Amino acid sequence: MTESDTTLRALFWDVDGTLAETERDGHRVAFNRAFEAVGLPWRWDVSRYGELLSVAGGRERLIADLETRGDAPTDRDEREALAAELHRKKNDFYAEIVNDLELDLREGVAELMDECMQRGLPMAVTTTTSRSNLDALMRVHFRAGWKQRFAAIINGEDVAEKKPHPEVYQKALKQVGVAPASVVAIEDSPDGVTAARRAGVAVIVTRSVYFSHAPVDGAVAVGPGLHTREGWEPGPPAGKGDHVRLDDIAHWHTQFHDNPSPKPADAKPASL
């Protein structure tokens, strides 16, 4: 590989919000079940959880919320111990939700992955969720051998810093053995876009419920999902098909290198 290699050589996948709507229907619900399981009256509705998503990492998110509550332990060590216990329980409930098939893959994800495999384009997982959450989701949708699909799998336990830090992308680039300029990442959140861009990787954004209008500065293309070629900005090249294909990704990748500072996407406030 050379730093100036701008051929598309790998596709990197974010997980939460990109592969499935895991935040609203998975992690949030599982946190609420964990609160209930230990007899706490706390519940996060869809809107409050959306606010908390500004904190990366489930345990860190929980600690941030505990710091705002009058009915949480005031002692820091106690608060952190409670957060660790609740986070462990949350991940167990999350696995139950996933195993009960309550979290479908977003439309178009499986098709694009299959196309990558048919055409021999290496893929990586670049997530900062916990290993067990990733494994649960992937096993259900791609069976026990899911890891064989990917040239690198980096999760939140493999990095010292979560997104928006670029470490997860830097590690994946190293493991796959590709230059940043030859990769496209698919993300849904501003933090994810920032992480990829800080690593020098071009990003396309598939809007998820929580970041449907969030500003995503620096994405090469932004659209409603991989299931459609409508509603993308900029649009994919003229061509057939009703979902986003590898040729569309390659087109955006080329555009990115022809114009390395894409205009920021629409800057409306986040809303549901």
Consecutive H or E run containing 12: strand 10-13
Amino acid symbol at 147: K
User: Which one of residues 8, 11, 13, 14 is an interface residue with Mg ion (CB under 5 A)?
Assistant: 14
The total of other beta-carbon atoms located within 10 Å of residue 233's CB is 12
* Token digits of residue 269: 């406030």
**Is residue 14 flagged as an active site residue?**
yes
The one catalytic residue in 16, 188, 191, 248 is: 16
**What phi and psi, each to the nearest 5 degrees, are found at residue 236?**
-70, 165
* Residue number, 188 or 248, with CB nearest to Mg ion: 188
Q: Residue 31: which residues within 8 A CB-CB, separation 6 or more?
A: 44, 49, 58, 62, 86, 90
Kindly report the number of other CB atoms within 10 A of residue 231's CB atom: 11
**Least CB distance from residue 226 to ligand XBP, whole Å?**
16
- For the segment 25-64, give every residue that binds Mg ion (CB under 5 A): none
Question: Which residues ranging from 117 to 136 are in contact with ligand XBP (CB under 6 A)?
Answer: 127-130, 133
17 binds Mg ion (CB under 5 A): yes
- How far is residue 154's CA from residue 200's CA, in Å, rounded to a whole number? 17
CA 31 to CA 24: how far, in whole Å? 11
Q: Name which position in 11, 12, 16, 103 contacts Mg ion (CB under 5 A).
A: 16
15-74 residues near ligand XBP, rule: CB under 6 A: 15-17, 23, 27, 56-58
x/- contact string, 192-231, with Mg ion (CB under 5 A)? Answer: x---------------------------------------
Least distance from C-beta 75 to Mg ion, angstroms? 33
75 is catalytic: no
Least distance to Mg ion, CB of residue 237, Å: 26
Residue type, 73: P
CA angle 9–12–15, rounded 5-degree value: 165
Q: What is the Cα gyration radius of the chain? A: 19
Which one, 185 or 229, has the nearer CB to ligand XBP? 185
Tokens of 59: 């345990």
Under rule CB under 6 A, which residues in 141-180 are in contact with ligand XBP? Answer: 156, 163
Applying CB under 6 A, the residues found at the interface with ligand XBP are: 14-17, 23, 27, 56-58, 127-130, 133, 156, 163, 189, 192
Applying CB under 5 A, the residues found at the interface with Mg ion are: 14, 16-17, 188-189, 192
Which residues are known to be catalytic?
14, 16
